[in-house]
Amino acid sequence: MALELKKVTSIQLRSVGLDERWLQDRIKDDPSLLGLGDLEIVSREHRQPVGGRIDFLMRNDADVFYEVEVMLGTLDESHIIRTIEYWDIEKQRRPAYDHRAVIVAENITSRFFNVLRLLNRSVPMIAVQLNAFRLNETDVVLHAVTVLNVSKEIESGVDVDPSERADRQFWEKKSSPDFLAIIDKLVLLLKQSGVEPRITYNRHHIAMGTTGYNFCWFHPRTLGNCHIECRFSVDTRDAAVTDLQTGGIDASPIRTEFVTFGVTAPVLEAKKDILIDVLKRAEEWSKR
């Protein structure tokens, strides 16, 4: 059956009687609405010692904390300041962990995008524009677009701050043997297929590249699960997601060019052909 084009109308949530509490409830029910991967909610309306409450404190399986501030309408100065303040407080509370300041708004203008981009040099900020569309009289669709992401700013370059460098011994102490064994197995399989990976050990992730940019990043998770992010071109990313999902791997798109998925040793053994095929496609992108 041929696909039929349907028109949808962009709306502001307040214009249809929905408020910030409604939006927070939807995020509470399903944090993946933010488009930031598999996050769990640590606390909602998390009280701060200097007054005020942050909308959400979240974290992922790699123990990165996300201080999330949500607002309706157009982003303004007060919410930017509040988000950075909450991020700083939580960072001081848990100095051993990575933290991300996340601001969510229905509209992020070019003026404030430039401000956030400048701030991102010092504060790891993520900006999510949450667009709402009305399908009919009863249905509303929310679509998150990450317009600024600290990991993309860091990963898209050839190098990182030398102070963030680590070595194999650092990761042997920090992570489980299963995590490194998965990376070692992928390196071996890629070599057998004619690719010579270059592994770079950083304090917060392990990166893989060859002769171009890094194309793959590894983060440890619990129970022997290795969290992987790969970068593709805009026009090849969705095909990689589809192939991984068809092959039985729970992959998700993030941002505009990245794919994220988890791998355990048994999954790697059973799905190695599709995994290596996808990694080789990402490696091809890195040389452009």
> Using CA atoms, how far apart are residues 58 and 99, in angstroms rounded to an integer?
10
- Helical segments of 66-203, H only: 77-93, 110-119, 150-155, 168-174, 177-192
> Mean pLDDT over residues 202-228, rounded?
84
Q: Are residues 73 and 24 in the same domain?
A: yes
Q: Is residue 192 over pLDDT 90?
A: yes
What is the pTM (predicted TM-score) of this model? 0.54
> Using CA atoms, how far apart are residues 11 and 209, in angstroms rounded to an integer?
42
Note the pLDDT of residue 134. Answer: 83
Q: Determine, yes or no, domain membership for 4.
A: no
More confident residue, 2 or 177: 177
Whole-number average pLDDT of the chain: 84
> Using CA atoms, how far apart are residues 228 and 207, in angstroms rounded to an integer?
10
Which domain range does residue 240 map to? Answer: 162-286
Note the pLDDT of residue 156. Answer: 42
Q: Are residues 33 and 79 in the same domain?
A: yes
Q: Are residues 137 and 211 in the same domain?
A: no
Note the pLDDT of residue 222. Answer: 64
> Mean pLDDT over residues 249-253, rounded?
86
Selection from 58-67, 120-129, 147-156, 269-278 with the highest mean pLDDT: 269-278
Report the run of H or E that residue 5 belongs to, with start and end: none
Q: Is residue 77 over pLDDT 90?
A: no
Note the pLDDT of residue 159. Answer: 45
Q: Determine, yes or no, domain membership for 211.
A: yes
Q: CA nearest 232: which of 162, 183, 275, 280? A: 280
Residue 255 vs residues 31, 36, 129, 161, 176: alpha-carbon distances, Å? 16, 8, 12, 23, 28
Q: Helix, strand or coil for residue 102?
A: strand
Q: How confident is the model at residue 151 (pLDDT cuts 50, 70, 90)?
A: very low
Q: Is residue 270 over pLDDT 90?
A: yes
Tens digit of pLDDT for each residue in 153-187? 444 444 455 556 788 999 998 888 899 999 999 99
Note the pLDDT of residue 164. Answer: 64
Report the run of H or E that residue 46 belongs to, with start and end: strand 40-47
Q: Determine, yes or no, domain membership for 157.
A: no
* All residues at 6 or more sequence positions from 90 whose CB lies less than 8 Å from its CB, including other chains: 54, 57, 65, 67, 99
Q: Are residues 195 and 235 in the same domain?
A: yes
List the single range of 167-171, 200-204, 272-276 with lowest mean pLDDT: 200-204
Q: Are residues 216 and 126 in the same domain?
A: no
Q: Are residues 23 and 138 in the same domain?
A: yes
> Using CA atoms, how far apart are residues 80 and 84, in angstroms rounded to an integer?
6
Number of domains forming the structure of the chain: 2
Q: Helix, strand or coil for residue 51?
A: coil
CATH (domain of 217): 3.90.1150.20
Q: Are residues 135 and 217 in the same domain?
A: no
Note the pLDDT of residue 92. Answer: 83
Note the pLDDT of residue 254. Answer: 73
Q: CA nearest 253: which of 277, 225, 234? A: 234
Q: Are residues 137 and 250 in the same domain?
A: no
* All residues at 6 or more sequence positions from 250 whose CB lies less than 8 Å from its CB, including other chains: 261, 262
Q: Are residues 136 and 25 in the same domain?
A: yes
Tens digit of pLDDT for each residue in 19-52? 999 999 999 999 988 988 888 998 888 776 665 7
Report the run of H or E that residue 246 belongs to, with start and end: helix 237-246
Q: Determine, yes or no, domain membership for 109.
A: yes
Of 148, 170, 202, which one is at a domain's C-terminal end? 148
> Using CA atoms, how far apart are residues 163 and 184, in angstroms rounded to an integer?
24
